[in-house]
Structure 1
Amino acid sequence: MILKIIDECRISGSSNLLPILNLGTQPLANSLKKSPMDSEDKFPLSISFCPDSSLLQLNETIDKKTLFKNYIWVTGTSKTTKRYASKLYNQLIQIAAPSRTDFILEIASNDGTFLQPFIKNYYTNVLGVDPAVNIVQKANECGIPTLSAFWNSSLAEELLVDRGAAKIILARNVVPHVSNLSSVIEGIATLLDEGGIGAIEFHDAGKIQSELHYDSIYHEHLCYFSIQSITFLLNLFNLIPFHIEPSLISGGSWVIFFSNKQKETSFALQRAVDLELQNSVNSIEKWENFARLTLKHKDHTLEMFNSIYGKKVVGFGSSARSQTYLNYCGIDNNYISAIIDNNPMKQGLFTPGSSIPIVDIKSGLGLNPEIIVILAWNFQEEIISSCLSAGYKGKFMSPLPNKLHYVEKS
């Protein structure tokens, strides 16, 4: 069965789920098409809130093999991401103080961008785990030891026997994607060395609320964690958060650091917890207001695009989140002529639902656009810089945060 409807909280098991927002039926965000005429499956996309665990979650689960076995998102296509990989490496080394032979693991390591700094600095016991066969092959070809598999508690037990406990376990932007949450976190708890350090990156529910990131809702993202709800989940497996850092990418994410041993809570974590409480992030009222604002954003988007109809408009960034935005608002190839994307695996294909051609920057700017819509708005500065460097003279628009707006050139 490809689709399963979820009627209980993914972490507490409570059936006390409160419906928040329905984004209609949508194609899978990364199911790019070879032709705009290709048929495609569409699935319901909606979220609910559990007041018992404070988790905002998707009501639908798509079979993980359908979603992830062959994947087109490649971490290393962004310069910003590569810079962030270096910074996160330094943070982990400072906090965990591993030896050069300690076991260092990344779950859902993709092309190995975030493991490269360890290898370049002569850490010899490094491993990535990722289910996407095509991307794992690329990672291994680039010298990043990577195992093609879905992470779970059984795999953790195998690795514990084969390689011993891990000093560092990194899970960037993956825990919100998994349907078997208990097995995934249990696996981390099983493999983590005594006093070892884990780090999970997740899109901050508070930022989703305050900046209206409804574009982050798509079938791969099953959970939308607040600090309170991710702590609830970790505590179920005797894992204790002690520090938090903002992510430089992903448009408003946290990296939460935790251990199986009690460590002093950092000022940064305590401050973030206090702000979340102060802003009532984990209240049903805030999520109901989020839903109302999302409906208004859709109306505003259609007004703005209708006001520029007839102008040559090109998008930049065929990200998964852009597909939610385009399909929910009904923006298709009648409004946007093409979308520029730096990932060669996407170029020459068409977006799901909206059927917009995906091109490289030379081809996109060759259409002489009057307006570029920065769909991957979390990389706004990098995108503007790339376009200006390539000679673009027109205007920029960004759909988010908060509302579709024109952007000043930097």
Structure 2
Amino acid sequence: METRGSNEPVCSFCGGKQLGLVMDFGDVGLAGAFLKPEQFAAEPSFPMRLHFCAACYAVQVTDRIPSEIMFRNYFYFSSSIGTLRDHFRDYAAEVTKRFLDPANATVLEFGCNDGVLLRPLAEAGVRTLIGIDPASNVVATIDDPRIKVINDFFTEELAREIVVRHGKVDLILASNVYAHIPDIQGTTRAVAEALHGDGVFAFEVHYLGKVIDELQYDMIYHEHLYYYSLLSVMNHLARYDMMVFDIKPVPIHAGSMRFYACKKSSKHGGSVSPAVKALEAKERARGFDRYETFVEFSSAVAAHRARLIELLGELRAQGCRIAGYGASGRANSMIQYCGINHDHLECMIDDAPAKAGFYTPRSHFEIFPSSVLDCDNPPDYLLIFAWSFFDEIRKRNEKYLAKGGRMILPLPELSIFPRAVTASPDAALQQGQHGTSK
């Protein structure tokens, strides 16, 4: 294992220096930093390396960008995605039934985005709802008097102010944000400060097991600093006298885990679910506490990159026009890692109106609304970077498919939809040289 010297990064969770390098992405643009042409010349780039900590088993990006740069003006609006709206409606119903007396409850969500989870909690009659998010342009869209919005980062100081004003919090929520926080120790202290003695801290993050199983290297970028296993979560929370008492795998974002945590003295602490114990044993058996596991992952990712670039090159050589679909952070991470450029793609397409007219970082693909697919001469192929929302994208673009358009799914297996019935540019895929066709 490569260990880090005194001038190298230390583990964000335990402060240890036993960091083994897993992947080095080189200098990349911020995955969520969409820009205009006049910004190209001054566009910054930053190193990005992924490490594994042998002391606490945390997998993390060690190159940090100030949160103010990444999140003050954000382009991700959760409510624009139907799959997410449905997911958070179900999530709200579950936690309300399981943990809350709505008429007397206080719920806080940090990283609340545009209120997609808080709104159904308001409909459930939760007395006090507090939404915290640093992205000014996103929280400005929350126009609901039932939600108290705080445009800031969730810090210990803010936690103390909230307790003074509203009392201890019964339920603290964090959805796909607990992996984004450079000062993860400070935020966890804020959780412990604000949480009621019998309160619950429920957070969803992309699950490390899915990243490994499905080669989801597109999830790795500066905004996503951490890639959680149960083992690493347990080690982290234990430092703050907290623990995981239940878990729930959820399919959103191509494989997330919902962790239910509490203070060790809580009424929930005495009843750890069998699912927690089973996953802990499974992760140890799979080597999530060993550096070698992640070296193997890195090698598999490099092989996938080679296959994807080969396929795009074959299609372009035969005169096919290709556009990307889904201008997300995941897309930009894959584009930059794989070296996808204008020789491979013509442009990007996205369903979020706020992104139209902007360009992707470093690669500088112009982003168009999905309505451009209604033209007489649409691209022959769409490279679906938002592959985790494929079912929704397929249904939304039935007219494009009916006209003969096709979609390339880069993950979890490189494939083309719909599957060809005769010889075609993707014949190699069907023969298993690039993966399994859908």
TM-score (norm 1): 0.94
Structure 2 residue matching 1:123: 3-state secondary structure: coil
Q: Aligned residue for 2:392?
A: 382
Report matched runs for 1:271-290 at 5 Å.
271-290=278-297
Write out per-residue CA displacement over residues 237-295 of structure 1, whole angstroms, 9 at most, x where no aligned residue: 11111111122312211010011111411132223223222222232111000111111
Amino acid at match of 1:12: C
| 1:134 equivalent in alignment to 2:141 | no
Q: Aligned residue for 1:64?
A: 67
C-alpha deviation, 1:121, in angstroms: 1.9
C-alpha deviation, 1:53, in angstroms: 0.4
Report matched runs for 1:327-406 at 5 Å.
327-366=336-375, 367-388=377-398, 391-401=402-412, 403-406=413-416
CA contact (8 A) 1:398 1:407 kept: yes
62-71 or 260-269, which moves further after superposition? 260-269
- Give the Cα separation in 1 of the matches to 2:383 and 2:74: 25
89-98 or 152-161, which moves further after superposition? 89-98
Amino acid at match of 1:398: L
Report matched runs for 1:7-406 at 5 Å.
7-35=9-37, 38-39=40-41, 40-140=43-143, 144-260=147-263, 261=266, 262-309=269-316, 310-366=319-375, 367-388=377-398, 391-401=402-412, 403-406=413-416
94-103 or 166-175, which moves further after superposition? 94-103
C-alpha deviation, 1:6, in angstroms: 5.7
- Give the Cα separation in 1 of the matches to 2:388 and 2:145: 27
- Give the Cα separation in 2 of the matches to 1:407 and 1:165: 51
Q: Alignment identity in percent?
A: 27
Inter-CA distance 293–105: structure 2 relative to 1 (3 Å threshold): same
Amino acid at match of 1:54: Y
Structure 1 residue matching 2:324: 3-state secondary structure: strand
CA contact (8 A) 1:111 1:139 kept: yes
- Give the Cα separation in 2 of the matches to 1:326 and 1:143: 41
- Give the Cα separation in 2 of the matches to 1:196 and 1:393: 53
- Give the Cα separation in 1 of the matches to 2:207 and 2:155: 24
Write out per-residue CA displacement over residues 11-59 of structure 1, whole angstroms, 9 at most, x where no aligned residue: 1111111111111211001111212872211111111111110011112
Write out per-residue CA displacement over residues 65-98 of structure 1, whole angstroms, 9 at most, x where no aligned residue: 0111111111111110001001111221132133
CA contact (8 A) 1:84 1:248 kept: no
327-336 or 72-81, which moves further after superposition? 327-336
Greater Rg by CA:
2
Answer 1 or 2: higher relative contact order, Cα 8 Å, separation at least 6: 1
Q: Aligned residue for 2:435?
A: none
TM-score (norm 2): 0.89
Name stretches of at least 5 consecutive residues in structure 2 with no aligned partner: 1-6, 420-437
- Give the Cα separation in 1 of the matches to 2:229 and 2:204: 11
- Give the Cα separation in 2 of the matches to 1:363 and 1:217: 29
- Give the Cα separation in 2 of the matches to 1:103 and 1:258: 17
Amino acid at match of 2:47: P
Q: Aligned residue for 2:433?
A: none
What is the Cα-based RMSD across aligned positions, in Å?
1.8
CA contact (8 A) 1:204 1:253 kept: yes
Q: Aligned residue for 2:425?
A: none
* Aligned pairs, number: 405
Inter-CA distance 395–36: structure 2 relative to 1 (3 Å threshold): farther
CA contact (8 A) 1:377 1:398 kept: yes
Name stretches of at least 5 consecutive residues in structure 1 with no aligned partner: none
